Structure 1
């Protein structure tokens, strides 16, 4: 074989140059090499060894006395298998389902007016009698939008060293921050440290459930019925087409189980059981999980409080959040570079500090509007 011939030629050459061989490895190794020269079984073993190396069939244990990773502590100190985990997913905004979105012109307070109107049942007017003149009441709501910002700066060295493109997602983080800020701001309108915002939810307003019952199918049905029976200042029924249930993450599964139930059983006082198809509350009802409620409700009722809102697009809303006209969406900015290379070519960092800067600006505000269009419970049972 070709390999056998080459190997034999190499051994013969080494024997012919025994003096040089001995000088390299020592006299005892040279003598041992000459003794191995004329043994064909060792040549065959050497040929088999080389063949297994070429075909990849030689086990790694045959090289354990060769170089290992411990021989290169500096070269292999930094792993070549590196990866960047993505940031946590931002919470999905829900506030537009139960809060009316509006647009305002500037930073001054905006005024929202509501009137009772003159709607009502007509009364009989007898011959030559005059009809009754109706009067109306009015209410005013005010709020102003505010500016909210956040940003970051990256040094030139950080941008050069970013081999995993970690900093490319930072603008997306700013956009998610704006979304989170809106969602939490909405939560502050209807919640406080103990549950439903005590400024607007009370027994006097008729929108705080008696006894603060927990979220169950029967209590939810009672709350929906109460909301559907609302009347205006003239005792006219208020048309409510759809209802939004708002809970924190601690009640999400409970709310889903209530809405997804295919049937329920009603047990009468005498023990009779009535099986009713459907759950009796799912029609025109949607579950909204505001994940920022626990950051607002800090007094222990975050996992039990729940709210119902009439859909804000039908009639008067319970809540309103406004955005500055022309800036309805968050705006992302970057600082213009103030340095360029001699000979041409701008660079995206500053002259003095060699840093690149970006920021986000968002403008919004809001207010509670109508206490009739919502009802809530802190779920404590007291």
Structure 2
């Protein structure tokens, strides 16, 4: 039975246009005398009429209705499910760049300069009687970077807002805010990571900040990296104080790094076969792990799963990295286009007069640079 036949049948019943027995099964007309002589037929006829009346008035249960007619008879009525729900958004990534990069504030879009001086500090030299003392000169180095404006937004039509019975668009501003957080973390990651792992412009043999042989992450290689970082000296050979070390890894090394830190006892066999028990792991003191999710996206080679970095805590005098935001816009700013639609008689609507779209956007201003290569150590973990 088609939907057209069903609707036609109901309309004809309402209008009392014909006898109901002609509606179902092509029953032939019978004389009143014959009907009186067939009480079973009259009972069935009354049952059908009652069934149709209950369907029309909504008193018949839906499962009875489905038995009479399948959903294929009503492709429009049953096309959309009545059980609909909106999945929650993916959980945003917690930024970690503040743990190994210094945050700064700049005053404008002009290039900012950061100066580093050295040369005066050093051990005093013995001066003989009437001899000249050492006159030291100061050297300086400048670091420059500028901030840029980054934006994103969306526009929703009036019809889309009306049809949003699941409140799917309510969370869109929150998604924009998370986009700003993601952009910061990805930007800082690109300062020290390229598609092959440790950024080739900053991690070099000449800078003495790439471990020899690019060893995989292990207790021994981690110990070697921390030792090299702790032994850093300035231009005059003065030791540099390292207050804390951050181990930065991608997802591929997270469990390995955690296992090294959590190990509480090592058994070491020396050359004579004696077993030496080491309490503690020897590297956990002053070391913290930072899981950087963006390494997996920025390093596009196999090194993404094997590269690891060590950073001196940015609380020191000179950090490895600096990330700056524009003064007055330190936090991302959300904007909404001023509506230009007003009903006659009063009342504004938050939509464009021409397109009936509602527009929102987010703006964030930031920049940064690599500062001091001595404040970091890295290995791509390839073993070569």
Indicate the TM-score class for this superposition, using the shorter chain for normalisation.
Answer: 0.7 to 0.9
Unaligned runs of 5+ in 2: 1-30, 44-61
Aligned 8 A contact 2:35 2:42 in 1: no
2:164 aligned partner: 162
Q: Which residue of 2 aligns with 1:372?
A: 374
Partner of 2:319 in structure 1? 317
How far off is 1:87 after superposition? 1.7
Q: 1:166 to 1:29 in 2, by over 3 A?
A: farther
Which of 240, 260, 263 pairs up with 1:261? 263
- Counterpart in 2 of 1:237? 239
Residue 340 (str. 1) matches residue 318 (str. 2): no
Task: Verify the 8 A CA contact 2:35 2:41 in the aligned structure 1.
Answer: no
SS of the residue 1:302 aligns to: helix
Q: Alpha-carbon deviation of 1:68?
A: 6.1
Report matched runs for 1:15-94 at 5 Å: 26-27=35-36, 29-30=38-39, 65=67, 72-94=74-96
After TM superposition, list the pairs within 5 Å mapping 1:184-199 onto structure 2: 184-199=186-201
How much does 1:33 deviate?
A: 7.7
| More off after superposition, 302-311 vs 285-294 | 285-294
Q: Which moved more, 1:69-78 or 1:230-239?
A: 69-78
1:41-85 per-residue CA deviation (whole Å, 9 max, x = no partner) reads xxxxxxxxxxxxxxxxxxx99998556656654333321110001
Residues 72-119 of structure 1: per-residue CA shift (max 9 Å, x gap): 543333211100011211211000000000000000100011011411
Q: TM-score, normalised by structure 1?
A: 0.83
Give 1:114's aligned residue.
116
**How far apart, in 2, do the equivalents of 1:109 and 1:174 lie?**
27
Q: Quote the Cα distance in structure 2 between the aligned partners of 1:61 and 1:160.
A: 32
Cα distance in 1, alignment partners of residues 39 and 146 from structure 2: 96
| 1:308 Cα offset (Å) | 0.3
The whole-number CA distance in structure 1 between the counterparts of 2:288 and 2:282 is: 14
Offset at residue 300 of structure 1 (A): 2.4
Determine if the alignment matches structure 1 residue 330 to structure 2 residue 339: no
In the alignment of these two chains, the number of paired residues is 337
Instruction: Give TM-score, length-normalised by structure 2.
Output: 0.83
For residues 71 and 189 of structure 1, the distance between their equivalents in structure 2, rounded to whole angstroms, comes to 62
Structure 1 residues 61 and 220, CA gap change in structure 2 (3 angstroms):
same
Change (3 A) 1:260 1:28: farther
Q: Distance in 2 between matches of 1:180 and 1:61?
A: 51
**Any conservation in 1 of the 2:215–2:380 contact (CA below 8 Å)?**
yes
Deviates more, 1:318-327 or 1:129-138: 129-138
CA contact (8 A) 1:239 1:315 kept: no
- Residues 76 and 268 of structure 1: CA distance in aligned 2, closer, same or farther (over 3 Å): same
Q: Which residue of 2 aligns with 1:130?
A: 132
Q: By how many angstroms is 1:179 displaced?
A: 0.8
Asked if 1:173 corresponds to 2:185, the answer is: no
Q: Could you list the runs of 5+ residues in structure 1 that have no partner in the other structure?
A: 1-21, 35-59
Q: Against the structure 1 CA distance between its residues 149 and 65, is the aligned structure 2 distance closer, same or farther, given a 3 Å change threshold?
A: closer
Matched residue SS, 1:167: coil
- Going from structure 1 to structure 2, the CA distance change for 1:30 and 1:288 (only over 3 Å counts) comes to same
Please state how far the C-alpha of 1:294 moved relative to its aligned partner: 2.3
Question: In structure 1, what is the equivalent of residue 221 of structure 2?
Answer: 219
